[in-house]
Amino acid sequence: MKVHHILVPTDFSERSEIAIKMAGEFVDLFGCTVDLIHVIPLIKYFSESMDPLGVPFSLEKHIYPQCLENSHDKLEQLANKYIKKEYRGKLLSVIERKPSEAISHQANTMEYDLVLMSSRGEHDSIHVMGGTTEKVIRYSKIPVLTVNESMRMDNVKTILVPVDFSDLSLFSVIPAFELAKELEATIDLLNIVELYSAGSDMVPYVPTAIDEQSVYESMIVRLTDYLLEHQQYNLHIQRTGVPFEDLLVSTEGPHTISIDLHSVIIKGIAAHHEIVDYANDNADIVVMNTHGRTGLSRVFIGSTTEQVSKHIEKPLLVMKPQFYEEEVDRN
């Protein structure tokens, strides 16, 4: 996962400032350029701008310049506070009815590698991820990393990757490896056996008795096959002989890089509840993608990612497989 150019949205709340501070740590790690964006919601724009003005007033002479100038000043202050001068990019102030649409449009039409934003904004509940963040995750074509006040890049030691047996879920192992390599972290591979939803499409991968050892062996075999089918990623599984403890190995270039891979099998009723509970207790960051199967198969992506994003307390990196595949092709 290459990070050269980051987009960081802010609503100027203390919570959203966390993401800008985190962008400063990304600069130290990747040497990337950081753009800041603030979206002025259209209704708020008029109410705040008209109060101090008498009548008659001019939209072009008074309202627009005033709000945009105030926004730019605040963005400049934040950039000066957290981002090293040589890595500061554009300071973007946008007037738009829906902030999520403006952020997604900027992310999707320009050459960014990552959207970095707070999991909650000014008016969001402490229990549920903010609506703007959730919508950006849904509509952004590039990876979105949501962070909270507890995250520090140098404290990331365990990366959680929830998977089922589909190719789309196993894909998340690829960017997780790249992140683990940069942060010197380990990977927890989590499979949730939903006790009442095993469909025929999972046979022969899930034994009828749902024995954890058998599910683990089937999962590692499936991941091994997936990596063999996608040799462009230059990764393979190295078995250690210890159940649930393996290595994810990169063979690209002259050096071999190994990341500890710990497999976890949990039996539960709803996948997203189990993922959130395990992540909050055991992980430092979670990596998932947003497109997967639906129906009776045990889905860890698509709607499950959306449910996880609403309730998780840990940082969440969400990305679409096609973005990463295009990145690999470019490199």
Domain ranges of the chain: 5-147, 156-330
Is the backbone of residue 222 left (phi > 0), alpha (psi -120 to 50) or beta?
alpha
Superfamily holding 5-147: HUPs (3.40.50.620)
| Per-residue confidence band for 207, with pLDDT thresholds at 50, 70 and 90 | very low
pLDDT at 11 over 60: yes
Residue 183 burial (CB < 10 Å; 0-12/13-18/19+)? middle
Q: Which residues pair with 34 in a beta bridge?
A: 6, 88
pLDDT at res. 59: 47
* CA-to-CA separations, 65 to 93, 97, 99, in angstroms, rounded: 11, 18, 19
Choose between 307 and 86: higher pLDDT: 86
Choose between 125 and 280: higher pLDDT: 280
Per residue in 39-60, pLDDT (tens digit) is 987 765 555 555 555 555 544 4
Cβ contact 57:48 at 8 Å: no
Residue 286 to residue 314: CA distance in whole angstroms: 7
Q: What percent of the chain has pLDDT over 70?
A: 78
How would you classify the pairing of strands 245-250 and 235-242?
antiparallel
In terms of CATH architecture, what is 156-330? 3-Layer(aba) Sandwich (3.40)
Other C-beta atoms within 10 Å of 282: how many?
14
Other C-beta atoms within 10 Å of 315: how many?
23
| Per-residue confidence band for 154, with pLDDT thresholds at 50, 70 and 90 | confident
Mean pLDDT value across residues 156-183: 92
pLDDT at res. 63: 59
DSSP, residue by residue, 175-239: HHHHHHHHHT-EEEEEEEEETT---GGGTTTS-TT--HHHHHHHHHHHHHHHHHHTGGG-EEEEE
pLDDT at res. 208: 47
pLDDT at 328 over 70: no
How would you classify the pairing of strands 144-147 and 33-41?
unpaired
Positions of E strands within 57-99:
88-96
pLDDT at 200 over 60: no
pLDDT at res. 17: 92
pLDDT at 127 over 90: no
pLDDT at 107 over 50: yes
Choose between 152 and 33: higher pLDDT: 33
pLDDT at res. 293: 40
Fold identical between 5-147 and 156-330?
yes
Mean pLDDT value across residues 26-35: 93
pTM over 0.75: yes
